[in-house]
Structure 1
Amino acid sequence: MSQHFSLPSSPLLSPGDFAGSPLSRVLRQPFLLGLFLPIQAGGWTPSTLPRTTSWTFDYNLALTRRAEELGFDLVFGLAQWASKGGYGGTTKYRETSLDSFIATAALAGATERILLISTLHILYGPWHPVHLAKFGATLDHIARGRWGINMVTGYAAREPAMFGMTKVEHDLRYEMAEVFASRLAQLWSSNENLTVDGPYWSMEDAFVTPKPRFGRPIMVNASGSAAGIRYGVRHSDIMFITSPAGNQLEDAVVSVPGHVAAIRTAAAAEGRQVRTIINPMILCRDTEREAIAYRDAIEAAADTEAVEGFAEHGRRGDAQAWRNQRRLHRAIGGNLHLVGAPEQIVEGFLKLRDAGVDGVQLTFYDFAPDLEHFAEKVLPLMYQAGLRLPDVPTAAASRQPAFAG
């Protein structure tokens, strides 16, 4: 049963409130452009069709550096805890994966401009707000304000048992996340010791310095439930959304506007503005016929046992954002499928923008060569369509709020 309690309101500013922050620079783009890093074996697609995609750090470092060269705004790593064999099949889909928190942090010293978003299960194991406040402030300084975190509560049915825990009820998890995020805000903003007696986490004379460079690190949220949205609009700068109607674009552009409108309304009630991004799987070739043939080849080589194992993993969990996913082309992965010639991919982006989405977080099947094809054929069309602007570096990284005179 959820407890009822009040938390002190925090004066903590978002990095977006500072004109010179990396987040403010990114938010000046008409349409955000991110890359999901394949730090897990098999990426997003359990298929045996040959490809270069690799979970290794060197591969993902090269992808990140290339994305930065191309003007991408952010890279993002997911987090998961899979048992031996992963989700099954001959590929042992996602059995091997790098930790998102560590891997993304390691990119900080190897990059200059791109935002780096880690994912962390804050309710698994002995995580405490003081830990993450200190670690987060440290990474914020190493990355010079480019690091951020997607704090997740864990929807999977089996993962908590790895940590000797029982699964926490869905809405209670977000109540706990609200407390956790509020304690982080207090630790990042307070110039005095902090003593609190719960709920969930207590601390005595807790203090964190250095403070983050721009109020706090960048905060991202990924949830489609009512409880998750309430949490997200209070604490996040960017919300990673899914299509309520599944992976086909024609369905998404009908269902997404209402979903985005609900997020914006909830954010406005908190006096905040939150940007939304969605994950399309990009299968692009010079012609639509070639792109469809590429998709069909991936599906023909699908590791069907792994496809079903991953689907069962989702069914056993309580994530609400993926409940209406269709079985059509399920082996392809990703939340949306954009399949076609370069012009069709950009048309899809424009439809998503017109549906209210603020940007995309891309996945590919064969990441390195597919990213190069995207760079050569799709990215110039995005500039022509007004979806992207040339990156203008901020002047000195001012720590004055954007609204200050």
Structure 2
Amino acid sequence: MAKEIRFNAFVVNRPVHQSPGLWRHPRDRSTSYQDLGYWVELARTLERGSFDTVFLADGIGVNDVYGGGIEAALRHGSQVPTNDPILLIPAMAHATRDLGFAVTGNLSFEQPYLFARRLSTLDQLTRGRLAWNIVTGKSAAGAKGLGRSIVAHDRRYDIADEFMEVVYKLWEGSWEDDAVLWDREAGIFADPAKVHRVRHDGEHYRLDAIHLTEPSPQRTPLLFQAGGSQRGRQFAARHAEGIFLAAPTKTVAGAVVRDVRRRAAENGRDPAELLFFPLVTVITGETEREAKAKLADYQSYISHEGALVLFSGWTGIDLAGRDPDEVLRFEDRDNGVVSTIEAFTTADPDRSWTLREIARHAGIGGQGPVIVGSPTQVADELQSWVEEVGADGFNLAYAVAPDSYVDFVDLVVPELQRRGACKRDYAPGTLREKLYGPGRARLTAPHPAAAFRHLPAEDAA
């Protein structure tokens, strides 16, 4: 029996995401990002294709590394403008029944008390279908917009550990399961003895309050994380359930998977329960020839400078004015994604990248590989990633929206279902239960969140 493969649609609430220049394609509708109907239609398409989540990326701050300013980013629309992704979720949730919603929340720029309320509200409105993609923030421009300075890379994760402790206390420890009574005869909404104040006096956060909402179906949303640096991997091994990888090759991705699973075991967690989702872009057609023709068509719309703007923003390395045939070398940048720099320099000793190659590679699908072929060929390659890398699923970026997802749903999903590698129906329950099985709506030990939950008196005795 083939292993079931999970799929997330990797999107963002802006016109340009991972394929700069493709917004100009006559079939692309990504510039309709301000139209709520566009998002509702996309959600329905994804649910028809048995996708697990809409994975909503986000970024605070304009890419201002390339050329030392924002001019190139604005010319190419390279991830600017960026609207708030959270506001899309209620409409998409109302239009679907089972599709999950993974929203990016940058804890370096959030306040845990209000952030915890926002995500609890969304988990309630989606009936337990919410996930949080935890990021720590690398954008100096974003920090300036909030009147702050960017914090050193590893220090951001130290702060993140404390942030997680605070939100765990709010989500798991403030309201007991049976605190809410709704006793109409007695006129009592909740038992005050079962609603607890959260008191936290840490290095970075102070809090003395109850959580503002009653428990949501999952309490703590399903937790995604995308940090691939050494410190990021340690954070993932402690907190994450799903891990998003942006790696150009199987060699790079496989090394991260093995390392994080090892670290999870050292933290007392079952490494098999960490689910890994590499970034890929699929271009498919009825035949290989048709798929390759689409690729050639899409490549004619690539903005190579726009791709370098994105890559400069990801890495913190200004690539403006450099020789296109220069080989990228490792440069330690505190305001960049360390794992991205490593992926294209030191992580794969058998592969070097010129700036020209990076621009062409990142021009469609960003940092991940592009899989091109017939439904059979695409299914073969996806299954090879599962077998060789240890992937559990994929974050699917798009070349042309929504055609890339429609093609995948209509052509590749049926082939995977025929092989038993893709579900035909959703499992009941919350998003966590759909991924882990019945009775798993909430986090359990040894995950650190479980330590903050109040136990019934008979269990605590």
* Bucket of the pairwise TM-score, normalised by the shorter protein: 0.7 to 0.9
1:276 aligns with 2:276: yes
Task: Return the alpha-carbon distance in structure 2 between the equivalents of residues 239 and 83 of structure 1.
Answer: 25
Shift of 1:35: 0.8
The superposition leaves residues 198-228 of structure 1 with CA deviations (integer Å, 9 ceiling, x where unpaired) of: 2201012343430122342111111101111
- Matching residue of 2:364: 332
Taking a change above 3 Å as real, the CA distance of residues 87 and 344 of structure 1, as seen in their structure-2 partners, is farther
1:171 aligns with 2:154: yes
Shift of 1:262: 1.0
Letter aligned with residue 370 of structure 1: S
Taking a change above 3 Å as real, the CA distance of residues 199 and 89 of structure 1, as seen in their structure-2 partners, is closer
- Matching residue of 2:126: 143
- Matching residue of 1:216: 220
Letter aligned with residue 381 of structure 2: G
5+ residue gaps, structure 1, are 1-27, 247-251
Taking a change above 3 Å as real, the CA distance of residues 207 and 42 of structure 1, as seen in their structure-2 partners, is closer
1:73 aligns with 2:52: yes
Shift of 1:86: 7.4
Task: Return the alpha-carbon distance in structure 2 between the equivalents of residues 166 and 336 of structure 1.
Answer: 34
State how 1:220-259 maps to structure 2 within 5 Å. Answer: 220-243=224-247, 246=248, 252-259=249-256
1:37 aligns with 2:55: no
Shift of 1:333: 2.6
Shift of 1:87: 5.0
User: Could you tell me the percent identity over the aligned residues?
Assistant: 23
TM-score by length of 1: 0.83
The superposition leaves residues 234-293 of structure 1 with CA deviations (integer Å, 9 ceiling, x where unpaired) of: 2221111122xx2xxxxx223322221111111222232311111111111233333233
5+ residue gaps, structure 2, are 64-69, 175-195, 317-334, 345-352, 446-461
Shift of 1:82: 4.3
Shift of 1:89: 6.4
User: Which of the numbers 112, 115, 123 marks the counterpart of 2:100?
Assistant: 115
Task: Return the alpha-carbon distance in structure 2 between the equivalents of residues 86 and 59 of structure 1.
Answer: 29
| Contact 1:105 1:118 (8 Å CA) reproduced | no
- Matching residue of 1:182: 165
The superposition leaves residues 306-362 of structure 1 with CA deviations (integer Å, 9 ceiling, x where unpaired) of: 222222222314202211334143311332211122211111111110020000111
- Matching residue of 2:349: none
| Contact 2:6 2:392 (8 Å CA) reproduced | yes
Task: Return the alpha-carbon distance in structure 1 between the equivalents of residues 98 and 3 of structure 2.
Answer: 14
1:359 aligns with 2:359: no
Taking a change above 3 Å as real, the CA distance of residues 172 and 234 of structure 1, as seen in their structure-2 partners, is same
Shift of 1:97: 2.5
User: What SS is found at the alignment partner of 2:73?
Assistant: coil
Taking a change above 3 Å as real, the CA distance of residues 218 and 39 of structure 1, as seen in their structure-2 partners, is same
- Matching residue of 2:38: 59
The superposition leaves residues 53-86 of structure 1 with CA deviations (integer Å, 9 ceiling, x where unpaired) of: 3223321221111111221111111111344967
Shift of 1:363: 1.6
User: What SS is found at the alignment partner of 1:155?
Assistant: coil
Taking a change above 3 Å as real, the CA distance of residues 86 and 333 of structure 1, as seen in their structure-2 partners, is farther
Shift of 1:395: 7.1
Shift of 1:140: 1.1
Task: Return the alpha-carbon distance in structure 2 between the equivalents of residues 75 and 395 of structure 1.
Answer: 17
Query: Which segment is superposed worse, 178-187 or 205-214?
Result: 205-214
| Contact 1:253 1:351 (8 Å CA) reproduced | no
The superposition leaves residues 356-397 of structure 1 with CA deviations (integer Å, 9 ceiling, x where unpaired) of: 000011122222233222222211111122211322542799
| Contact 2:246 2:278 (8 Å CA) reproduced | yes
User: What SS is found at the alignment partner of 2:379?
Assistant: helix
Task: Return the alpha-carbon distance in structure 1 between the equivalents of residues 159 and 3 of structure 2.
Answer: 34
User: Which of the numbers 289, 307, 319 marks the counterpart of 2:337?
Assistant: 319
Shift of 1:196: 1.8
| Contact 1:282 1:337 (8 Å CA) reproduced | yes
Taking a change above 3 Å as real, the CA distance of residues 395 and 365 of structure 1, as seen in their structure-2 partners, is closer
User: What SS is found at the alignment partner of 2:134?
Assistant: strand
Query: Which segment is superposed worse, 84-93 or 39-48?
Result: 84-93
Taking a change above 3 Å as real, the CA distance of residues 151 and 336 of structure 1, as seen in their structure-2 partners, is same
Task: Return the alpha-carbon distance in structure 1 between the equivalents of residues 51 and 139 of structure 2.
Answer: 30
Query: Which segment is superposed worse, 85-94 or 287-296?
Result: 85-94
Task: Return the alpha-carbon distance in structure 2 between the equivalents of residues 75 and 206 of structure 1.
Answer: 31
